Amino acid sequence: MTRITPERPPQGQDRHPENDRDPSRRPAGSPAATVTATATATAASREELPPPVPSLDARIAAALTGAAVGDALGGPVEGYSPEQILERHGGRVRGVVGPWNGDGWRTARPIAPYHKGDGHVTDDTLMTHALIRVYERVRDHLDAYAIAEHLVPDLMGAPRWIPELEAEALPLQRIFLAEKWLVARIHYGHVDPREAGCGNIVNCGAAMYMAPVGLVNAAHPAGAYAEALDVAGAHQSSYGREAAGVFAAAVAAACAPGATPESVVAACLALAEDGTRAAIEAVCGAAARHTEFEAALGPLREAVAPFDTVGPDYRAPSLGARRPSRLHAIEELPVALGMLLVAGGDYEQAVLGSVNYGRDCDSIATMAGALAGALGSPAPAEWAGRVAEASRLDLDGPARSLTAVTREVFARDVARRRAHETAFTAIGGAPCSG
């Protein structure tokens, strides 16, 4: 498994070729016995050392790059079933692939004339990077008003290279209808940003770009959850907003030292409410019975189906699709967490499982990629290089920028906490720290 931290040999096993023999039968002082004893002692000493902890910089870089690469891999097969993907590609997708309709991508789906595939990121990454630019400007925690004051103008006022359009354009001209809602409601409708998400179709549109909120609140899931709920209020309501909070919490939890896929899921279950919590519990319960994504594709869909409003045909949503409800959940987040469990936190397996799941797989792979990266398993360099080149995208700059902001925000949080302690102590409360 490719990770930021090096793998260690299994406990009690060294690498010398004579280890298949019983060392106790070798004469004391013999060359074989001496080499075996030395190798065993070396392996034991390595086992005693705690594994290196990935730095904040490394986690943020791996999470953001992992999200973008997952997005690009999932884009060309979005909307299709695992069976359709298998037939179209003659097997499972194992890396960057071309458009579903080949050279006919411009006219195959007039409602979405986008060049999905060949390493192009989609609106998931465009929105993620836009939110990072908001953090660059504010340099503190965000709320719904920050979205109104900074994100909305960014979407409608600054042309950028849009990979799927193969041209410079406003991000507004590429993002999906549920994201255009931000501009319609806030800029043109002058709605209170804290309530602007009400009335929008309920989907994963806000959750898909909440990784930066989790990273700014690294190792503080509750803080990430609260901030993301505030930010997402400008965009989503009901279980769409809840998913944004829980995904941000998951990313924050993945940044904690010693975090595992299981601890990330536990952090989500500790915070999630209503149908979102029930869906995560059901999907992750099914995922725990699998260690290969191929066998998990069907069971994960079966587990999330009772909570998903879209229905079995992703391109023909049911009449009750995407309406507010306390009983339902978006599909993408529970499945991303499930694939993370199935893969044991390994980036390639988590993302490939998400991609081959189909349906809204670019967003599922975006979330799974961010979580695996935050845990310490980065995207393969070859994939990242192809995506960066094809999308004409700097994958390193946003990570460096967000890391700097994260450190500044933490320093501000410490100062605010100290000021609160001082004030609380002055009115008779017990001091909380030295």
Does 7 score more than 50 pLDDT?
A: no
Give me the residues paired with residue 161 across strands.
168
Interhelix angle 293-304/332-342, nearest 10 degrees: 150
Does 422 score more than 80 pLDDT?
A: yes
Backbone dihedral region for residue 14 (phi beyond 0: left; psi -120 to 50: alpha; all else: beta)? beta
* Confidence category of residue 52, pLDDT binned at 50, 70, 90: confident
Gap between the Cα atoms of 374 and 144, Å rounded: 25
Lowest mean pLDDT among 41-45, 174-178, 291-295, 344-348: 41-45
pLDDT in the model for residue 433? 62
pLDDT in the model for residue 40? 46
| Burial state string for 34-72 with b = 16 or more CB within 10 A and e = fewer than 16 | ebbeebbeebeeeeeeeeeebebebbbbbbbbbbbbbbb
Gap between the Cα atoms of 210 and 173, Å rounded: 21
Three-state DSSP class for residue 418: helix
Mean per-residue pLDDT, 256-262: 97
- The pLDDT tens digits for 104-156 are 998 988 988 999 999 999 999 999 999 999 999 999 999 999 999 999 999 99
Interhelix angle 123-138/397-426, nearest 10 degrees: 50
Q: Where are the domains of the chain?
A: 56-402
Three-state DSSP class for residue 169: strand
Gap between the Cα atoms of 338 and 281, Å rounded: 9
- The pLDDT tens digits for 58-75 are 999 999 999 999 999 999
Does 24 score more than 80 pLDDT?
A: no
| First-to-last C-alpha distance (Å) of the chain | 42
Find all residues with CB under 8 Å of 47, minimum gap 6, and list them.
Answer: 8, 11
Class of domain 56-402: mainly alpha
Q: Widest CA span of the chain, in angstroms? A: 86
- The pLDDT tens digits for 183-220 are 999 999 999 999 999 999 999 999 999 999 999 999 99
Distances in Å between the Cα of 65 and the Cα atoms of 92, 102, 197, 379 are 23, 26, 28, 7
